Chain A
Amino acid sequence: MPTIVSVDDSTVPGEGSSRLLLLVSSDNKHIVVEEDIMSRSRFISKQVEGFEATSQRHAILLPFSSFVLNKVIEYCSHYRGYYLLEDDPDAAPPGRSPVREWDQEFLDVDRNMLLRIIKAAHYLEIKSLVGSCARAIADMIRGKTTEEMREILGVENDFTPEEEHSPSSKCTG
């Protein structure tokens, strides 16, 4: 859970059309962002609702680095004001619809960064970003052999010979 700390008004610069939020990354970088931008995050929205019960302004401490946080903010800024079906709580499970072109370019990052972004998106409850990242990871391993998948993902074969040849294994391929 993030730590919520009280901050002075002076910590938060200027008033815009939207209220401002202070997000603090795990590397202790303070990032001010309009509430509107982050409204795609159900986690942030719930936090803000909590703030409204008190008159104080707050900062939200997040368990990932500023680099990752900035990427998430970039995503949220791009889709600011847009309705994305995947963010709808009643949305259908993943389908065959293609990845949005912008998302494809946005997620053209290395494997570890992609995994960090998806974890952050999951933490912040941004379903559309989780979906896009998941699709990108699925695309990364699509059409590959098991060995190739392991190589791409950096994991080792940790099955015992019995597990590899058990009946249940045969039922998984």
Chain B
Amino acid sequence: MSQLSRLDREIATAQHAFIALCFLRNSHTPVSRLPSEILTHIFSFFRVSHLDPPDSPCFPPSWIAVTHVCRRWRDVALSSPGLWTNIVMNNKRWMKATLARSRNAPISLHLELTYMGVRTDPEVVWVALSHARRVKEISFKGSYLDPYLRPLFKLAAPLLESLHLCDKSSSFDLRKGIFLLGQAPKLQSLKLEGCIVNWNSPLLFCPTLTLLSISFFDRAPQHRLSAVGLRDILMALPNLQYLTLHNMIPTPMSTLEDPDAKIHLQQLKTLSLSTDVATDIMGVISHLLVPENATLRVECNAFGQGYQDSPTSPEVPLATTLASFYETTSMSNSERARTDGYHAIGFASPDNKYTLVAGTCYPLLSSEQPDPDHPYSSCSTLWDPEVSLSVAWRNWESSNPPIQSLFQFASAFFPLSNVQTVFVDCFFFRRPEFWWTVFGKMKHVKRLVVSDNLAFDGFVRALQGEGNTSGTAQVTESHAMLAQLLPADRKGLPRLPHLFPALTHLTVEGVDFERQEQFEALLDVLSYRCFKRSGLKRLSRLYLRKCNVRHEHLVSLAGCISHEGVDWDKRRRDAHAFSKPKIRMLDELEENTYFFA
């Protein structure tokens, strides 16, 4: 027994000696000899560029893997307050640890109550809120926020720059007191969703505000702002750049004493309005003066009846009004109709002067052909040979999409066939026929960005020729081989229809190429698309973004294009991330920037 104890002691001693030697060795490695400031800098980049989104409720966040590398790295990381300023309150121990490590540095508080269905104890949140004096950013999302935010009626936040509250239960009442005691002199971004707003709150009149976004999930007439109130708020915000009012259009602007009064928003970059009734939108924009290069985004849902005091009419010439406002056209609720799908298309020019078409389809598509006398036909449209198109399929569950009709309608005003850049998102499980329907006539697309694993199968099959109703031939490897044997003009070989025949730059995002069949499908397409005599533009660049791909796969791909032609950002994802359907709520769309990413 004593022999065993002695050996255990010797093992322990040897282990300690080994670790001490490792530590000594590490201290001589080039990376360990970097000054602490540089290591902190590296960790900062590692943190911000990591896969976790900035407001991820994950804990601990994956970037802290750097603290496991060696003792020196852990020591440096733990003694750098700036690395620990992102306080996530879903886990008490983690929150306390980060509060302590951030010392006196300005902090960001994040709470996501819906995450994994775990309810957070309000008292835990209060501990973090007691640090309000050094809070730079607050982002609370969830239902029934009231118990969590109560302390903020008694605390000022002198360093606060960004406040984002999203109460999905639409119950948080900011009228209970003076939120943050009205003291947030550095506030730049104020975003309130589903909150009952105190329209007299000093926060709304903070002259440092550059972003103001107020949204309701449903119409809330009892909380509605008056036209005079909106005018007073906007006139107090000389630096406002982004204004969003969703389901929160004020009482008719005609109630202003001076119906011709204009509010000049000199710095405005984006104005986003949505409501049920087009005349309400017209009422607001007709009282605004904004810079010529501002982006106007209008959504007229036509779901409800509008406010009782809003004038309604079956035909509202919203588009004409908008067109005269900013060369912008939009769809209006020309007819009230039930819709079960929500579709939007957007157009952008390279100079960022956007034209956007958005809205529900059915009311607009009731007539088969656009009427030349229709108000929309007088809209001046933005045309540029480098026009780009962004397509998001929002309602992915819809099985019978009327998107073809939507495109037919839109193409009456926009030369879709000349689109050269296309961004595609949310085409989950879309069949090849769908791809052909949407993009079949766009023969000049040079750059294409396709997102998501769930969209890849339909996309690649469409590229292979499947689903084209105008031609039955499929592009296969045998075609490629046949074409190789024929002369360049390919006499005698029927010209095959191809989707995106001018494609030269392809970006694929979020696809798992570790699934062999997906990789092989891509390789098959590339082997044809990169072939000189295929009758197509030669694909010269492939960008892989957030894709899982093996080194040997990259070699194969590089063999098709060229070594320089493949660009992988080396951002990998967990395998399970590919298996879950990505369903996003409509209210999340704003943040995810579907339109002009």
A and B interact = yes
**A residues engaging B (CB < 8 A)?**
93-96, 111-112, 115-116, 118-119, 122, 130-131, 134-135, 137-139, 141-146, 149-150, 153-161, 163, 168-169, 171-173
How many Å lie between the Cα of A145 and that of B571 in the bound state?
A: 13
Contact B51 A149 (CB under 8 A): no
Contact B71 A137 (CB under 8 A): no
Chain A residues contacting B15 (CB-CB under 8 Å) are 160-161
How far in angstroms is the closest Cβ of chain B from A57?
31
How many Å lie between the Cα of A134 and that of B41 in the bound state?
A: 6
Which of A112, A139, A163 counts the most B-chain CB atoms under 10 A from its CB? A139
Contact A142 B50 (CB under 8 A): yes
- Partner pick for B65 among A146, A153, A163, CB 8 A cutoff: A146
Contact B48 A95 (CB under 8 A): yes
B1 close to A (CB within 8 Å) = no
Contact A143 B571 (CB under 8 A): yes
Chain B residues contacting A118 (CB-CB under 8 Å) are 34, 38
- Partner pick for A173 among B26, B48, B67, CB 8 A cutoff: B67
Contact A96 B70 (CB under 8 A): no
Contact A94 B67 (CB under 8 A): no
How far in angstroms is the closest Cβ of chain A from B479?
36
Contact A93 B34 (CB under 8 A): no
| CB-CB nearest in chain B for A164 | B68
Interface string of B548-570 (1 = CB under 8 A from A): 00000000000000000000001
Contact B64 A172 (CB under 8 A): yes
Give the interface size class of chain B. Answer: 35 or more
How far in angstroms is the closest Cβ of chain B from A103?
13
Chain B residues contacting A169 (CB-CB under 8 Å) are 68
Contact A134 B44 (CB under 8 A): yes
Chain A residues contacting B29 (CB-CB under 8 Å) are 153-155
**A-B pairs with the 5 shortest C-beta distances?**
A138-B45, A158-B22, A156-B22, A138-B46, A158-B23
Which of A134, A142, A150, A158 counts the most B-chain CB atoms under 10 A from its CB? A158
How many Å lie between the Cα of A159 and that of B16 in the bound state?
A: 10
Contact B71 A159 (CB under 8 A): yes
Query: Known contacts A112-B30, A171-B93: does B65 contact A138 (CB below 8 Å)?
Result: no
Chain B residues contacting A139 (CB-CB under 8 Å) are 49, 570
How many Å lie between the Cα of A172 and that of B38 in the bound state?
A: 20
B42 close to A (CB within 8 Å) = yes
Give 23 A-B contacts (CB < 8 Å), ordered by A residue. Answer: A94-B48, A115-B30, A116-B30, A122-B38, A134-B44, A138-B45, A144-B65, A145-B65, A154-B30, A155-B32, A155-B70, A156-B26, A156-B70, A158-B70, A159-B68, A160-B15, A160-B19, A168-B78, A171-B60, A171-B94, A172-B67, A172-B74, A173-B65
Query: Known contacts A149-B65, A155-B70: does B42 contact A134 (CB below 8 Å)?
Result: yes
Report whether over half of chain B's contact residues are helix, strand or loop; otherwise say mixed: helix
Contact A131 B41 (CB under 8 A): yes
Contact A115 B31 (CB under 8 A): yes
Contact A138 B42 (CB under 8 A): yes
- Partner pick for A157 among B22, B66, B77, B93, CB 8 A cutoff: B22
Chain B residues contacting A161 (CB-CB under 8 Å) are 15
How far in angstroms is the closest Cβ of chain A from B66?
7
Chain A residues contacting B42 (CB-CB under 8 Å) are 134, 137-138
Chain B residues contacting A150 (CB-CB under 8 Å) are 69-70
B346 close to A (CB within 8 Å) = no
B572 close to A (CB within 8 Å) = yes
Chain A residues contacting B78 (CB-CB under 8 Å) are 168, 172
Contact A135 B45 (CB under 8 A): yes
How many Å lie between the Cα of A112 and that of B23 in the bound state?
A: 19
Total A-B residue contacts, Cβ distance less than 8 Å: 120
Chain A residues contacting B572 (CB-CB under 8 Å) are 143
Within 8 A of A (CB), among B67-84: 67-71, 74, 77-78, 82
B97 close to A (CB within 8 Å) = yes
Chain B residues contacting A135 (CB-CB under 8 Å) are 45, 49
How far in angstroms is the closest Cβ of chain B from A151?
10
Chain B residues contacting A130 (CB-CB under 8 Å) are 38, 41
How far in angstroms is the closest Cβ of chain A from B318?
37
Contact A173 B45 (CB under 8 A): no
B35 close to A (CB within 8 Å) = yes
How many Å lie between the Cα of A135 and that of B570 in the bound state?
A: 13
B491 close to A (CB within 8 Å) = no
Query: Known contacts A96-B48, A172-B64: does B71 contact A158 (CB below 8 Å)?
Result: yes
How far in angstroms is the closest Cβ of chain A from B45?
4
How far in angstroms is the closest Cβ of chain A from B164?
18
Which of B31, B71, B74 counts the most A-chain CB atoms under 10 A from its CB? B31
Contact B44 A93 (CB under 8 A): yes
Contact B16 A122 (CB under 8 A): no
- Partner pick for B49 among A111, A138, A159, A168, CB 8 A cutoff: A138
Contact B38 A160 (CB under 8 A): no
How many Å lie between the Cα of A156 and that of B38 in the bound state?
A: 20
| CB-CB nearest in chain B for A93 | B44
Chain B residues contacting A134 (CB-CB under 8 Å) are 38, 41-42, 44-45
| CB-CB nearest in chain A for B43 | A138
How far in angstroms is the closest Cβ of chain A from B34?
6
Chain B residues contacting A156 (CB-CB under 8 Å) are 22, 25-26, 70
| CB-CB nearest in chain B for A135 | B45
| CB-CB nearest in chain A for B65 | A146
Contact A159 B65 (CB under 8 A): no
Contact B69 A94 (CB under 8 A): no
How far in angstroms is the closest Cβ of chain A from B538?
22
Query: Known contacts A131-B41, A143-B571: does B49 contact A155 (CB below 8 Å)?
Result: no
B351 close to A (CB within 8 Å) = no
How far in angstroms is the closest Cβ of chain B from A153?
5
Query: Known contacts A155-B31, A173-B68: does B60 contact A160 (CB below 8 Å)?
Result: no
B588 close to A (CB within 8 Å) = no
How many Å lie between the Cα of A158 and that of B20 in the bound state?
A: 7
Contact B97 A171 (CB under 8 A): yes
Interface string of B484-495 (1 = CB under 8 A from A): 000000000000
| CB-CB nearest in chain B for A163 | B71
B373 close to A (CB within 8 Å) = no
How many Å lie between the Cα of A156 and that of B18 in the bound state?
A: 11
Contact B71 A142 (CB under 8 A): no
Chain A residues contacting B65 (CB-CB under 8 Å) are 144-146, 149, 173
Interface string of B344-362 (1 = CB under 8 A from A): 0000000000000000000
How many Å lie between the Cα of A158 and that of B50 in the bound state?
A: 25
- Partner pick for A142 among B25, B94, B570, CB 8 A cutoff: B570
How far in angstroms is the closest Cβ of chain A from B580?
19
Interface string of B524-536 (1 = CB under 8 A from A): 0000000000000
How far in angstroms is the closest Cβ of chain A from B311?
46
Contact A173 B64 (CB under 8 A): yes
| CB-CB nearest in chain A for B71 | A158
Chain B residues contacting A116 (CB-CB under 8 Å) are 30
